[in-house]
Structure 1
């Protein structure tokens, strides 16, 4: 078993990644055959820190399994699948779901989260994959309670910058034509998006209600201070945190949910392009149900709101998300 002790590059503390090869060769070689490989990831969930201590809801952060999957996939891509460092990783799809709520409740003691991961290389050329299909099952203190998945694509520098340049040009042209820039009307109180500190608020108050639903501006500068790893990019995890905040605001607006007792339990995203730093970003949110309809219920009878979100720069859609918010009552 190859165990790696890797410091966090985001908000996780020290964590461990363990490769579990299926063949004897995997124990002896630094790289593996381009076939599905299994890994285990584990870390402690903090009882106090830059994220968990600011949440008004008594739950661990759903970003933990997604970030754990991302870090494991990136480590495995470079270390085991020999993906060159020059290739730029891009999320095409991503998602996470809470399958059991109780283990996610914070307690007075630290808890450990573990991910059992399967990473499957795709589009293999000369033994090196151009993509990874990633799946994970999450357990907290040994109890299975969630899943996460992602599709990663590794682009050559030329292709990567070509996509970035084209997307930026399209957004700039539509913004110059007067489309897709919202005038912020203020920021919500932190507790309305499930936080205690204003510095963690990424989503502005809804600006208008259109045929696409409520429209929320995103503060990418604030997001960069909290989430960014690379100043050249808007981090993919921004969409999860911005989705969570916009979903809590929308669930309160549409269904009367109380953010301090609400939990994002499902998030599935497809990415249509790159969000560019320095350009206005906003999202629209609409409910899955007919306007005015009561929210659904989970197996325990708790209210559940299904939402659809779209993220725009100018008129260009950069991501589309389906999310579910649970009212814990």
Structure 2
């Protein structure tokens, strides 16, 4: 077993990543064969943080384990799987699920979080993977309470540019104006106390595509203030920003569509597929529809009898869908 104290980006704070190699060669070479490798991540869940510490709801945030998983994958890709620094990592898909809500409730003492990570290299050529897939079990204070996953692909700069530049041009051609919002929600409506962390406008009702839904404008200025990467990171809209916006949209949509109380609601499931690049300087909007609505109109319930609503989210710049997301919001009552 080899242990490293990983770098401490301001987003995560101090944390540890442990490699659990399956062969003795990893101890000697400090490298890993291009096959599945196991790791363990541990940290304290932050209490003082401009985003995490600003919560109107008594729950830990899915953002922390998801960003922990992403950064652990990036570290392992360079350190263990020989992925060259010149290749650009792109998140193709990601997801998280809460399996035991009790562990996610905030207590009087600072909680510890751990991830058991299984990383599998994909499309290996010459011993170097072109992608990396990770499945993780999430533990808070020793209790297994969730799961997380992600898939990264590593692109040469020329390939990355060939994908991103056309997306940018299409977005610029289609998105001159800023989406009009009827106003901004109160911070507590989206799970926060500080209005600076509100990233969305109030919803507008939509009736296209055969059913009622909601449309939200994303506040590009407020979103730009939330940096989930290092200060010198590429000028991209980070994938974790979609998770934060999804949570805010999900809480407000659950209140609008099903009367949920945001202060006692939690984003319990999130599964995203990224279909292109979202440009940070262009308008972004999110459309939401209830997913799996019962024929009798009654709200669905989980195994404990708590109300839960399934949502289908689409993020668009102009007419381009840049991310498709399936999510659930649980009312804790």
Would you say same fold, with TM above 0.5?
yes
Shift of 1:290: 5.9
Query: How big is the alpha-carbon RMSD for the aligned residues of Structure 1 and Structure 2?
Result: 1.6
CA distance in 1, matches of 2:8, 2:123: 29
Shift of 1:291: 9.1
* Contact map agreement 1:201 1:222 (CA 8 A) in 2: yes
What is residue 152 of structure 1 aligned with on the other side?
152
Long gaps (5+) in structure 2: none
* Contact map agreement 1:255 1:294 (CA 8 A) in 2: no
CA distance in 2, matches of 1:174, 1:52: 34
Aligned-partner SS, 1:154? strand
Is 1:296 the counterpart of 2:289 in the alignment?
Answer: no
* Contact map agreement 2:224 2:280 (CA 8 A) in 1: no
Among 299, 311, 317, the residue aligned to 2:315? 311
CA distance in 2, matches of 1:120, 1:50: 34
What is residue 264 of structure 1 aligned with on the other side?
267
Judging changes above 3 Å, is the alpha-carbon distance between structure 1 residues 292 and 259 closer, same or farther for their aligned structure 2 residues? farther
What is residue 167 of structure 2 aligned with on the other side?
167
Shift of 1:305: 0.4
* Contact map agreement 1:47 1:109 (CA 8 A) in 2: no
Provide, for residues 77-104 of structure 1, a one-character-per-residue CA deviation record: whole Å limited to 9, x for no partner. 0000111111111111100000100011
What is residue 38 of structure 2 aligned with on the other side?
38
CA distance in 2, matches of 1:104, 1:309: 24
Is 1:280 the counterpart of 2:292 in the alignment?
Answer: no
What is residue 225 of structure 2 aligned with on the other side?
225
Is 1:205 the counterpart of 2:205 in the alignment?
Answer: no
CA distance in 1, matches of 2:298, 2:241: 29
What is residue 253 of structure 2 aligned with on the other side?
250
Among 303, 320, 323, the residue aligned to 2:324? 320
Judging changes above 3 Å, is the alpha-carbon distance between structure 1 residues 8 and 221 closer, same or farther for their aligned structure 2 residues? farther
What is residue 5 of structure 1 aligned with on the other side?
5
CA distance in 2, matches of 1:28, 1:266: 40
Aligned-partner SS, 2:59? coil
